[in-house]
Amino acid sequence: MATRAPGRLCYVCPVAFGGEAGAAGPAGRDDQPSFDTSVAHQARIYDYWLGGKDNYAADRKAAEAAIAAYPGVATGARANRQFLARVVRYLAREAGIRQFLDVGTGIPTASNTHEVAQSAAPDSRVVYVDYDPIVLIHARALLASHDDGLIDYLDADLRDPAAILDQAAQTLDFSRPVAIMLIAILHAIGAEDDPYQIVTRLVDAVPAGSYLAISHVASDIDAEKIAEATARLNQLSHQHFTLRDHAGVTRFFDGLELLEPGLVRVEDWRPVSQLERRNRSAVWGGVARK
């Protein structure tokens, strides 16, 4: 097992190892997370919902406040994680994809993208991208590639897709199909940052035969409860979340061929067992082919 990453991770060093809290992050914006445990972060809240241990009191407080408003939020997180694994398995096994650009990595947990992809196709290449220093530290410690494949980690912001594409090109061959994975991240991008344009920019960079996979918290499933849970998170966490309805999420796939069963609750996207379907979510998920 080998990994080719440490050089890239030095992007986070100034912040992760004693840099100024709140200092501008990878895209030079001052609203990117720093290594601050006093404020809840999306990655660590999600880790708590998944039963992980890489979270702090502020994260647990925000996570519990959301659960109190909408108890389904934790099962939704698990359903989302299972969706991610099923999508990667499908792409590697059935669609023949060998390159993955996974933006919004999250703190590594079970069945990470490269593990699922490389168990089906060991030569798979995965580029992980996240803008939270804590994610990149854990990624370095926990993620290791199969010798036949390659993984890389970028400290970059989805709101700067040009920088992501530029750095990812050191590992991925953009003349061959790539799966763009935007799993549980786009709801952290508000309208002011034009998330549709960001997705278009990424999709434009990959050839025909590539895929786009998205999951996104829904505004139109259990609407009142999810709105209250989101309002609480927006008060307590670094990131602000923007929910979108079925039409709003479908729009991200404009111009692409949406695979069956279309945009559905993540647990209804090709579940392999009734057990998987039991984790109900308020999260839309879908996969499309370019």
Is residue 188 near ligand SAM by the rule CB under 6 A?
yes
Nearest residue to ligand SAM, using CB? Answer: 106
For the window 196-225, what string marks contact with ligand SAM as x by the rule CB under 6 A? Answer: ------------------------------
88-to-29, 37, 50, 60, 223 alpha-carbon distances in Å: 31, 32, 19, 29, 29
- Taking contact as CB under 6 A, which single stretch among the options 4-12, 59-67, 79-87, 117-125 is the one that binds ligand SAM? 79-87
Say if CB 181 and CB 100 are below 8 A apart.
yes
When the beta carbons of 49 and 253 are compared against ligand SAM, the nearer one is: 49
- Taking contact as CB under 6 A, which single stretch among the options 93-101, 170-178, 181-189, 240-248 is the one that binds ligand SAM? 181-189
Which of 16, 69, 84, 151 contacts ligand SAM by CB under 6 A?
84
Question: 3-state SS of the chain: helix, strand, coil percent to 5?
Answer: 45, 15, 40
Report, in Å, the least distance between residue 175 CB and ligand SAM. 25
Is residue 59 near ligand SAM by the rule CB under 6 A?
no
Question: What is the residue-wise DSSP string for 178-236?
Answer: -EEEEES-GGGS-GGG-HHHHHHHHHHTS-TT-EEEEEEEBSSSSHHHHHHHHHHHHHH
Is residue 81 near ligand SAM by the rule CB under 6 A?
yes
CA angle 276, 211, 28 (to 5 degrees): 100
Is residue 276 near ligand SAM by the rule CB under 6 A?
no
CA distance 63 to 232: 9
Is residue 259 near ligand SAM by the rule CB under 6 A?
no
Longest Cα–Cα distance in the chain: 48
- Taking contact as CB under 6 A, which single stretch among the options 3-11, 80-88, 92-100, 240-248 is the one that binds ligand SAM? 80-88
- Taking contact as CB under 6 A, which single stretch among the options 92-100, 125-133, 228-236, 256-264 is the one that binds ligand SAM? 125-133
Categorise residue 196: left if φ over 0, alpha if ψ from -120 to 50, beta otherwise. alpha
Say if CB 142 and CB 165 are below 8 A apart.
no
Which of 104, 133, 195, 248 contacts ligand SAM by CB under 6 A?
104
- Residue numbers of the site for ligand SAM (CB under 6 A)? 42-43, 46, 80-81, 84, 104-106, 129-132, 135, 157-159, 183-185, 188, 239
